[in-house]
Chains A and B, each alone.
Chain A
């Protein structure tokens, strides 16, 4: 690990000031990803700004009748929070599908959004990687790309976003609240993470001086028909090859509203509102789910080792929607 100084601001404003005045500084909250990346020299901050003890660590009801998750609440405390379990069980299910109990006890909700890809070439400083070192090339496109993207990739980067929690947050239409030198702003979840394009080293739309303070969940939580399906090489403690967060609002067997978000397939949690709109007013049956799945994967492109993900994603979407419809907690 490269040496760094360690600072402990006492307020969000002080944390923002420290970050704004040092371009090589990084925030540390749970630390489970940044310290890992520092050990392999992918991240080499000259200052770690420890925000762990700042007050953004509670879950409260927000003005819109939803919930506000403090950025520093741990993933475990979020997943097991009574209000989250009752009103947003999809979120609990997704969080508990990720990492291990030990990691979830440290990792925070804000940090979950900020985690970097687990592309092996990004982690290996001996190989070119446009995300780690802009302009150096992408080792994955012609390398071993089993875990890589099939949607929204570019010729500069085919990495995926590794989060499970974020897939549920995308499906639930969450909002990310941030504070920077210019003040506060709110970012719709779908606009927080970005596609790689020509600048894959930029994971998201957060500015260098900005910090996530909380995540808002809207009132609608789809607590009765939901499912998070995670497919991976082993049953527990592995990243998704494909995951699907599915949420339905139904009347009898007619779909009033559908939400579908995919993980493990793109540089950001993947949503397709056209497919969701197609299901509106339709019967909750396999044929219709298949049509929605076809729309979602229509533009998918595989590489040498990950083409299997296209068919896998289609089937996973259908199965997740069927499970969501059947998975009724009345």
Chain B
């Protein structure tokens, strides 16, 4: 962990490098009920903060542009793309990642349903799918199977396990056919 904290921020193009000490500032995050304080640059996405600084690597980086949904987490119970927001913007929020859904050794009903319905192949999109489904349940807007498909369309599964994913969600959240 220490070596990660000491690493310099990645600066992609263009301007002169910025001294690390000038840009790092303490950022307080509450994730899965635990409080963390880390030194972050303002441009660190919430996704990178979770993965690279808090070692919560359950949340996946797919496209990094809000198109695939692999990075979906819950912020105050609402699902968002953690790649399209900055960690520094979430210091007052309760963040829940895939690591925070289970109750101790007891899986979240969605986690169990994904296992029971074989709702994945490679598994890379699964944390995002499950967090997104948890957000969908909190929203309570899906009434039909068509709604379910539409409201899960922000999560892409390149293996094409959609049928089983929808069956797993329906196991937990009943909708009209």
Contact = CB atoms under 8 A, between A and B. Distances in A.
Contacts of B45: 35
Contacts of B154: 99-103, 237
B81 A1 contact: no
Interface string B36-59: 000001110100000000000000
B69 A102 contact: yes
Contact of B66 (A2, A28, A50, A103): A103
B86 to A, nearest CB: 7
Interface stretch (A36-44, A189-197, A311-319): A36-44
B38 to A, nearest CB: 15
A80 B143 CA distance: 14
B79 A101 contact: yes
A9 interface: no
A101 B77 CA distance: 13
A102 B134 CA distance: 12
A183 interface: no
Interface size bracket, A side: 20 to 34
Interface in A73-115: 76, 80, 99-103, 105-106
B153 A100 contact: yes
Contacts of A237: 153-154
B7 to A, nearest CB: 16
Interface string B134-156: 01100101000000011111110
B130 to A, nearest CB: 13
Interface stretch (B11-19, B119-127, B168-176): B11-19
Contacts of A106: 80-81, 84-85
B94 interface: no
Given A44-B14, A100-B69, A102-B72, A4 B43 contact: yes
Contacts of B42: 4-6, 48
A76 B86 CA distance: 20
Interface in B85-111: 85-86, 88-89
Contacts of A102: 66, 69, 72, 79-81, 132, 135, 154
B61 to A, nearest CB: 12
A68 interface: no
B23 interface: yes
Interface string A122-144: 00000000000000000000000
A101 B89 CA distance: 20
Contacts of A38: 43
A136 to B, nearest CB: 17
Identify which of A5, A39, A50, A52 gathers the most chain B CB atoms within 10 Å of its CB: A39
A3 B15 contact: yes
A186 to B, nearest CB: 30
Contact of B132 (A50, A80, A101): A101
A209 B174 CA distance: 49
B78 interface: yes
Contacts of A2: 11-15
A3 B136 contact: no
Contacts of A80: 139, 141
Contacts of A101: 79, 132, 135-136, 139, 151-152, 154
B80 A50 contact: no
A105 B78 contact: yes
Contact of B65 (A1, A4, A31, A36): A36
Contact of B13 (A35, A41, A236): A41
B141 A41 contact: no
Identify which of A50, A99, A105 gathers the most chain B CB atoms within 10 Å of its CB: A105
Interface of A: 1-6, 28, 31-32, 35-36, 38-39, 41, 44, 48, 50, 52, 76, 80, 99-103, 105-106, 235-237
* In the complex, the 8 A-B pairs of residues with the closest C-beta atoms, listed nearest first: A100-B154, A6-B42, A236-B153, A237-B153, A102-B154, A3-B18, A105-B78, A1-B43
Interface of B: 9, 11-15, 18, 23, 41-43, 45, 64-66, 69, 72, 78-81, 84-86, 88-89, 132, 135-136, 139, 141, 149-155
